[in-house]
């Protein structure tokens, strides 16, 4: 078993390497204290989302949290789930879709089924007692569910029939992620009676509310990492069904979805977590001190200041574009390149060059032309074409009084080194 991770400021580069894991969100400590690596954001987006969740409603609302990959959504969801005011009003159910499903092959039916399974499993795991009639209803539903899948699968799930309810549901949950053929049959069975599944979700939510005197709040992380086609199918074509569970839900969605003209049902319920602004719109050389201070705190709460020289830190922060994960990636690669006891500016330049080369391999001629336009105007032009560039972080969004964007800072040298392509002739 892995040892629990200790959130201690690194005094050497080996330890710093561990502290800058790019894909590791920051959960509260086991005793409930805030994570010591957490950095207070300069924006108020999560405060607004928390307020929106806590306001009284006749019907429990659904919210949509977006932002670029690596901007801190997962960490903020951990904090929201652990917030004392939220826990006073709600019974939080927080999970990552990536841990329970194949995000490269996800369907709206998978998401709804996992909402029901996680409501049940997390409540049971924390000692919650559901009423006997609901447990019997769930056992009957599971039995019918398994029988249909068994008949379709020539007995593959035969061993689950008659198993304990919690173990049987856990087995179904694991098959959603690990067995594509079974996953397909599970979806067919859900589609046969989607209203029945939603009724089960609502009955579990109602039972939790009756027992705990507070409604469930479901926080679903990592839905923003879906392929855009899959995300569109879930949040546009099937949005009405995603709104039907009778509990509060926070869905994470990718930033390109905010600019998809086909997504019309999340307006007013959407909350965008911006990147850390390092300069004002159209003033790339004008350093924004508050943004740099926030990123410096991000570094110094994980690594002793003497492990990186000032020029190296300044370059790493600038080239991160104000994205926490990008800064962690650059510092990790700088540590890998360093042959000294501190990170030098040359090390960071090497990490920047490596990151730039990944974009050189994937950007098309048309995308490079679009990036030049974005760099010139700092505006969200041609939003459908921008979607893959937002998804890959080639274009970064910022918000203050207005919404604006710029290219990832590592791309300036790439665009400057390549000639501008002439427009394609119209046949």
Residues of the chain with pLDDT under 50: 1, 151-163, 423, 425-427
Q: Please state, in angstroms and rounded to a whole number, the distance separating the CA atoms of residues 81 and 32.
A: 11
Cβ atoms of residues 299 and 94 within 8 Å: no
* Residue range 44-133+168-272 in CATH 3.30.2320: no
Q: Exposure of 154 by Cβ count < 10 A (0-12 exposed, 13-18 middle, 19+ buried)? A: exposed
Write out pLDDT tens, residues 185-242. 888 888 888 999 999 999 999 999 999 999 999 999 999 999 888 988 998 889 999 9
Write out pLDDT tens, residues 121-172. 999 989 988 898 988 888 888 777 776 665 444 444 433 333 356 676 777 7
Q: Which residues pair with 399 in a beta bridge?
A: 403
Q: Please state, in angstroms and rounded to a whole number, the distance separating the CA atoms of residues 160 and 142.
A: 10
Secondary structure letter of residue 81 according to DSSP: H
Residue 224 tokens read as: 């923003």
Q: Please state, in angstroms and rounded to a whole number, the distance separating the CA atoms of residues 181 and 281.
A: 50
Cβ atoms of residues 257 and 231 within 8 Å: yes
Q: Which residues pair with 404 in a beta bridge?
A: 398
Cβ atoms of residues 119 and 245 within 8 Å: no
In three-state secondary structure terms, 90 is strand
In three-state secondary structure terms, 410 is coil
Q: Which residues have C-beta within 8 Å of that of residue 176, sequence separation ≥ 6?
A: 100, 101, 102, 110, 113, 114, 182, 183, 186
Pairing of strands 395-399, 403-407: antiparallel
Pairing of strands 62-66, 403-407: unpaired
Q: What angle do CA 401, 407, 410 make, to 5 degrees?
A: 130
Helices (H), ranges, 270-410: 289-300, 310-320, 324-337, 345-362, 365-377, 383-391
Secondary structure letter of residue 188 according to DSSP: H
In three-state secondary structure terms, 293 is helix
In three-state secondary structure terms, 168 is helix
- How far does Cα 61 stand from its chain's mean position? 20
pLDDT (0 to 100) of residue 368: 93
Would you kindly state where each structural domain of the chain is located, as residue ranges? 1-41+277-427, 44-133+168-272
Secondary structure letter of residue 22 according to DSSP: T
pLDDT (0 to 100) of residue 159: 37
- Greatest alpha-carbon span in the chain: 71
Cβ atoms of residues 70 and 323 within 8 Å: yes
By C-alpha distance, which of 385, 362, 364, 359 is closest to 374? 385
- pTM of the predicted protein model: 0.88
HSE on the CB side for 149, CA within 13 Å? 27
Residue for token digits 């574009």?
321
Q: How many CB atoms lie within 10 A of CB 245?
A: 23
Q: Please state, in angstroms and rounded to a whole number, the distance separating the CA atoms of residues 22 and 343.
A: 18
Q: Please state, in angstroms and rounded to a whole number, the distance separating the CA atoms of residues 78 and 177.
A: 23
DSSP one-letter string for 198-253: HHHHHHHHHHHHHHHSSEEEEEEESGGGS-HHHHHIIIIITHHHHT-SSSEEEEE-
């Amino acid at each position: 078993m892995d040892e629990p991770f200790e959130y201690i400021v690194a005094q050497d580069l080996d330890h710093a390497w561990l502290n800058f894991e790019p894909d590791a969100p920051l959960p509260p400590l086991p005793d409930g204290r805030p994570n010591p690596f957490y950095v207070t954001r300069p924006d108020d987006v999560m405060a607004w989302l928390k307020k929106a969740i806590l306001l009284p409603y006749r019907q429990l609302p659904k919210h949509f949290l977006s932002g670029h990959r690596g901007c801190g959504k997962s960490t903020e969801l951990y904090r929201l789930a652990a917030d004392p005011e939220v826990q006073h009003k709600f019974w939080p159910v927080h999970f990552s879709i990536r841990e329970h499903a194949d995000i490269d092959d996800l369907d709206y039916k998978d998401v709804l089924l996992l909402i029901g399974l996680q409501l049940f499993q997390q409540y049971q795991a924390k000692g919650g007692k559901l009423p006997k009639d609901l447990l019997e209803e769930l056992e009957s539903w599971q039995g019918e569910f398994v029988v249909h899948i068994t008949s379709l699968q020539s007995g593959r799930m035969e061993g689950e029939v008659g198993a304990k309810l919690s173990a049987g549901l856990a087995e179904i949950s694991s098959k959603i992620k690990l067995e594509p053929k079974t996953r397909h049959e599970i979806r067919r069975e859900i589609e046969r009676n989607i209203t029945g599944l939603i009724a089960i979700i609502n009955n579990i939510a109602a039972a939790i509310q009756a027992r705990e005197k507070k409604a469930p709040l479901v926080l679903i992380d990592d839905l923003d990492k879906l392929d855009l086609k899959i995300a569109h199918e879930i949040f546009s074509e099937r949005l009405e069904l995603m709104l039907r569970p009778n509990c509060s839900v926070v869905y994470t969605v990718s930033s390109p979805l905010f600019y998809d003209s086909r997504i019309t049902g999340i307006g007013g319920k959407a909350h965008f977590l911006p990147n850390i602004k390092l300069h004002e719109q159209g003033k790339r050389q004008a350093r924004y001190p508050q943004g740099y201070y926030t990123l410096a705190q991000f570094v110094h709460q994980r690594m002793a200041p003497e492990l990186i020289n000032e020029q190296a830190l300044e370059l790493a922060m600038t080239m991160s574009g104000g994205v926490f994960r990008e800064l962690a990636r650059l510092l990790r690669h700088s540590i890998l390149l360093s042959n000294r006891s501190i990170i030098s500016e040359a090390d960071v330049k090497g990490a920047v060059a490596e990151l730039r080369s990944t974009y050189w391999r994937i950007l098309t001629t048309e995308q490079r032309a679009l990036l030049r336009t974005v760099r010139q105007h700092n505006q969200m032009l041609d939003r459908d074409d921008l979607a893959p560039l937002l998804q890959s972080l080639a274009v970064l969004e910022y918000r203050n009084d207005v919404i604006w964007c710029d290219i990832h800072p590592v791309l300036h040298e790439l665009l400057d080194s390549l000639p501008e392509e002439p427009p394609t002739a119209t046949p």
